[in-house]
Amino acid sequence: MKNLRFFKMKRTDFAIRTNLFICLGAFIVLIGCKSQDAPAEGLSGNVGDSTRKAQDRLDSLRKTHYLNNDLSIIFLDATSWIMKTQMDLTRAEMAGNKKEMVDSLVINSTKGDTLYLVLRRMYEAGAVYAESYTEKDQYRAMREPDSSKLWLQKYFKESTPKEALKTLDKFQNDVTVINKIVRK
């Protein structure tokens, strides 16, 4: 019985040492990864040079897969859904201009979900074709948060139909600007 306790104690000691070495190894790997994520000079935000190179490569691959017809559809969809939403909000504005109307017409509807998806595609195309990292980051930020419900709440929650129409005008302006960037 005494030998059995000694054996268990020795085995526990070995397990503790092994786990400590594994944790130490993981910690060293983590520190190594953190040091490579440090911001490179001349780049915006906390994005490292290797991350930028990977994103540039991914953007280059995406550009080769976009066809002019695909890009036209992206911009037509975005414009079409913005206009549909504007028509609904204009009717709501005439009917009373209440905040609850925006919630039911945009945030809590499938039309709002579709609006989010088409604008997300449009902003992704803008990020792919943008020439500066600042523009790329700006367009990618417009896709966040990564949920239609949260995105719609971010831009339309507590808005009256009139305020929501102004937001849609900004999105329509982005469609025009990004279309010009893509068509260069």
- 163 assigned to some structural domain: yes
66 and 4: one domain?
no
Distance between CA 124 and CA 140 in Å, rounded?
Answer: 6
For the question of whether the overall pTM of this predicted structure is more than 0.75, the answer is no
- 128 assigned to some structural domain: yes
31 and 66: one domain?
no
* Contact by Cβ (8 Å): 93, 161: yes
Buried b (16+ CB within 10 A) or exposed e, 14-35: eeeeeeeeeeeeeeeeeeeeee
Q: What is the pLDDT of residues 122-164, one digit of tens each?
A: 999 999 999 999 999 999 999 999 899 999 999 999 999 999 9
Domain limits for position 123 = 53-182
* Contact by Cβ (8 Å): 43, 136: no
Least Cα distance to 122 among 166, 165, 171 occurs for 171
* Domains: count for the chain: 2
88 and 144: one domain?
yes
- 40 assigned to some structural domain: no
